[in-house]
Amino acid sequence: VPSPQAYRLYVDLLTDEQIRPLTSAEELRRGYFSQVSHLEGLMRSAAQALADITGYASLVMLPRQAELRVSALQLVPVSTGLALLVIVTDGGIIRDAMVQVSEQLDADALYAISRMLSERFSGARLREVQLALTEFADKAPGDPMVLQSIMELASRMDSQTAQDSLTISGTHNILGFPEYQDALKARRLLSALDDRERLLALMRAAEGRELTVQIGPESGIPEMRECSIALAQYRLGRGQRGTIGLIGPTRMPYGRVFGTLRQVSHAMSEALVSRQAAN
């Protein structure tokens, strides 16, 4: 079996002709992305596609929430003194929360505040919304309770949990490889795959590079020293980028893995553009 150093030399010498996908763009669109309606659904479809096509475990990371931009802010009346606050981003991510509002605010007043806030913050990054609302609250003819609730919800979206921002599929695929037939090794690997913060840190370290791979011990994760972690970027427009990846044995066919990651990243970007154009 070649050493990690030998695999590294091989990968570094790969040519574009050797980087070829395992499936066609049309098969991807038809089989996985034709019904996608929002970014979180796209993540699930991409993770499933990667796991199905390669037989490895797949990772899909959302763009950093602070880089997503607000499409709309809406306040929906629920009862006297209570409303549903909804924030929609341009990636199709929707978050909502029940908020207290002044009892004097009726449906028309809430609609007026919603329109004012949407006009003011449409296109702004979530972090910009948090910063601007502090100043905006002193000048705007809105309800301070509403503005505070928007700041809190935007803050929660900005500091989104690892559970929400990383999708993993095909974990069982790795357990079928000879490297992990040993029960102790398998348990350790599953434990490592459950450590989302560590996986996210690894993926964020690869941001800005189209294709990259950590071979064996290069990942710094002892439980994955017999695995390689191949990563690629996908783009949402406006400079927003996320990361997709595959985890498999170090003997994986790197050219085909890179080609498939590139193909899926392109399909994700095209699916989002098509959805946004349809809206």
11-25, 77-91, 119-133 — most confident range: 11-25
pLDDT at 223: 92
Q: What is the pLDDT of residue 103?
A: 82
Q: Which of 127, 158, 189 is the last residue of a domain?
A: 158
Residues 56 and 186 in one domain: yes
Query: How does residue 161 score in pLDDT terms, banded at 50, 70 and 90?
Result: very low
How high is the mean pLDDT of the chain? 83
Q: Which amino acid is at 227?
A: C
Residues 170 and 267 in one domain: yes
Q: How far is CA 106 from CA 75, 113, 137, 151, in A?
A: 11, 11, 20, 22
Do 151 and 209 reside in the same domain of the chain?
A: no
% pLDDT > 90, the chain: 34
What is the model's pLDDT at position 230? 97
> 90 and 223, same structural domain?
no
Q: Name the percent of the chain in helix, strand, coil, to the closest 5.
A: 55, 20, 25
Q: Cα dist. 277→28, 37, 90, 202 in Å?
A: 20, 12, 12, 33
Segments forming the whole domain that contains residue 184: 4-62+162-278
Q: What is the mean pLDDT of residues 119-139?
A: 70
* pLDDT attached to residue 49: 95
Do 51 and 177 fall within a single domain?
yes
CATH number at residue 102: 3.30.390.60
Average pLDDT for residues 200-206, to the nearest whole number? Answer: 90
Residues 256 and 169 occupy one common structural domain: yes
Q: Are residues 262 and 237 in the same domain?
A: yes
Mean pLDDT, residues 166-185: 89
Q: Are residues 166 and 56 in the same domain?
A: yes
Rounded to 5 degrees, φ, ψ at 28 are: -65, -50
Q: Are residues 38 and 174 in the same domain?
A: yes
Q: How many domains does the chain have?
A: 2
Q: Which of 42-56, 117-131, 204-218 has the lowest mean pLDDT?
A: 117-131
Domain match, 111 and 126 both: yes
77 and 178 assigned to the same domain? no
Please tell me whether residues 222 and 256 are part of one structural domain. Answer: yes
